Amino acid sequence: QSALTQPASVSGSPGQSITISCTGPMIDFDDYNYVSWYRQHPGKAPKLMIYDVSSRPTGVSNRFSGSKSGNTASLTISGLQAEDEADYYCCSFTNTHYDFGTGTKVTVL
Amino acid sequence: EVQLLESGGGLVNPGGSLRLSCTASGFTFGTYAMSWVRQAPGKGLDWVSGITDSGHYTYHADSVKGRFTISRDNFKNTLYLQMNSLRAEDTAAYYCAKLNGPVAGYGMDVWGQGTTVTVSS
């Protein structure tokens, strides 16, 4: 059972913005920055979209942004596009292990 | 091109063993930590094991501790996962992933295509 809770599904129309939440006890610490986000299309390997709460890897669109407040981290996708339809996972690192969130299916209407 | 290529998956009986390999190319393998992540059919991502750049420190999920061992050969640019005492619940696609730093805690910025392990009699 994951220590990180995400909504099972989020949907939006093309061009809209959506936000995926990720709640976990370790995220609540002010200096805790070990949160990353991954996108996974069906049958494909995951792809890193955000690391260290809000940093974007080279090549990832600036439509993707990350933030943290209290015990909740968030991934916001602005200007929703058809290609954004996928599963999204948050991930945290604590002491000696990683935890992945329960996963959120994003549907573009 | 930065690339990870897993191999070694297959069908194994419960209680059996399997060794997965992950061959890296396109980057300086010995300067990055690595991890194994698995995904059971229709399920979410599940972190399995991690290892620092030098291989001196290893980390395992509680679910595999004592059964799985992660290791690496920086001369061969290869990551390994030795899996013993396999159970039906270990059935999954296994991905190797490169971390974007030398130790645990960093994001996983490069992933292989995965290799499938099926534990069944």
List, for residues A78-105, the tens digit of each pLDDT value.
Answer: 999 999 999 999 999 887 889 999 999 9
Are B90 and B117 in contact, with CB atoms under 8 Å apart?
yes
Cα–Cα distances in Å, from B107 out to A9, A63, B1, B34, B43? Answer: 24, 19, 19, 10, 21
User: Is the Cβ of B27 closer than 8 Å to some Cβ of chain A?
Assistant: no
CB contact under 8 A, A101 and B44: yes
Which pLDDT band, with edges at 50, 70 and 90, does B102 fall under?
confident
List, for residues A26-55, the tens digit of each pLDDT value.
Answer: 766 666 788 999 999 999 999 999 999 999
Instruction: List, in sequence order, every residue forming a beta bridge with B46; answer none if it has no partner.
Output: B38
> Residues of B with CB below 8 A from A52's CB?
107
Residue owning tokens 């936000």? A19
In the sheet where B18-25 sits, what is the strand order? B3-7, B18-25, B78-83, B68-73
> Residues of A with CB below 8 A from B112's CB?
45
Are A47 and A30 in contact, with CB atoms under 8 Å apart?
no
Which pLDDT band, with edges at 50, 70 and 90, does B60 fall under?
very high
Residue A71 pLDDT > 90 = no
CB contact under 8 A, B45 and A96: no
Nearest to B47 among A40, A47, A99 (CB): A99
- Which residues contact residue A59 at a Cβ distance below 8 angstroms, ignoring those fewer than 6 apart? none
> Residues of B with CB below 8 A from A97's CB?
47, 50, 59-62
CA A100 – CA A62 distance, rounded (Å): 23
Residue owning tokens 């899996």? B83
> Residues of A with CB below 8 A from B59's CB?
96-97
Report the candidate in B85, B88, B95, B86 with the shortest Cα–Cα distance to residue B116.
Answer: B95
